[in-house]
Amino acid sequence: MRRVLAAALVAGALVALAASCGGVDEAERDRAVAAAARAFEQAKEEGVDFTDGPCIADPLEAMPNWVVDVAHDPRQDVDDDPANQCESYRSGDADHFVELDRDGNLIRAK
């Protein structure tokens, strides 16, 4: 009985954790990361300056609930400047983001 109760509690905690993370499944996250890499390459070809950590996809093509932001790793004050962040994420129109470093490497996606 205790094991069943413990398992139910753990399962409930995992469901709550998934919901608090926006319920993004791994496949959606992987698609967003791949699309972010393409957006980064396109921005690079267009000569975008990544120094101040700009938003490069707002929203992400074919994934309107995602944006792509460039940041420093480790983060710097300029990364927290709203002028360098994606408007859709700040306003709540997008719930998820992919954050890349200035070389296009994944920092995080959530």
Residue 69 inside a domain? The answer is yes
Residue 51 inside a domain? The answer is yes
Residue 10 inside a domain? The answer is no
Residue 50 inside a domain? The answer is yes
pLDDT in tens, 18-34: 444 456 899 999 999 99
What's the average model confidence in pLDDT over 94-98? Answer: 97
Residue 86 inside a domain? The answer is yes
Write the CA distances from 71 to 12, 27, 59, 88, 108, integer angstroms: 34, 24, 17, 17, 10
Q: Write out the residue range of the structural domain in which residue 54 sits.
A: 24-109
| Sign of CA pseudo-dihedral 21, 24, 26, 31 | negative
Residue 46 inside a domain? The answer is yes
pLDDT in tens, 40-82: 999 999 999 998 889 999 999 899 999 999 999 998 988 888 8
Which of these, 58, 51, 20, lies nearest to 36 by C-alpha position? Answer: 58
Q: How many structural domains are present in the chain? A: 1
**What pTM was computed for the model?**
0.76
Residue 19 inside a domain? The answer is no
Contacts of 13 (CB under 8 A, 6+ apart): none
